[in-house]
Amino acid sequence: MDTRDTRERIIEKAEELGRLLAQTPEYAYMQSANRELGDDREATELLNRLRHLQESLIASVERGEDPPAEERAEYEELQEKIQTTSRYQALISSQANFDKLMERVHRSIGAGIRKGEESRIILPS
């Protein structure tokens, strides 16, 4: 089997893996939680304001300035407020569960690579 065929098979397997991941309960729950948070107008407004403040705080630091105390306080207050919403917590929980699945996938790929290294030497064509 030449290198091109091997690469094509790898890409095909990766696409198949992606399709299978999209069918898992972890992925479905994460997508649902993301949609529910996005549909929550108040939460969306909080997140948008939080992002805006974050950008402003980062810009201050990049300019070598101390971010304004009132912006830091507002950022912390908004962060605390959004983190206590049930929809945000559901999203974070679902992301953590999907991340655990992806970590298992990553470890399995690593195990496959190690087995491949031990099995045979592939010489370039």
Residue 13 has phi, psi (to 5 degrees) of -65, -40
Average pLDDT, the chain: 92
Q: Give the model's pLDDT for residue 121.
A: 61
Question: Is 23 part of any domain?
Answer: yes
Based on the structure, what is the number of domains in the chain?
Answer: 1
Which CATH number characterizes residue 67's domain? Answer: 1.20.1500.10
50 and 78 in contact (C-beta within 8 Å)?
yes
Range of the domain at 76: 3-95
Question: Is 112 part of any domain?
Answer: no
Question: Is 100 part of any domain?
Answer: no
Question: Is 69 part of any domain?
Answer: yes
Residue the block writes with tokens 């908004």: 78
At 18-65, the pLDDT tens digits run 999 999 999 999 999 999 999 999 999 999 999 999 999 999 999 999
Question: Is 115 part of any domain?
Answer: no
- Predicted TM-score (pTM) of the model is 0.77
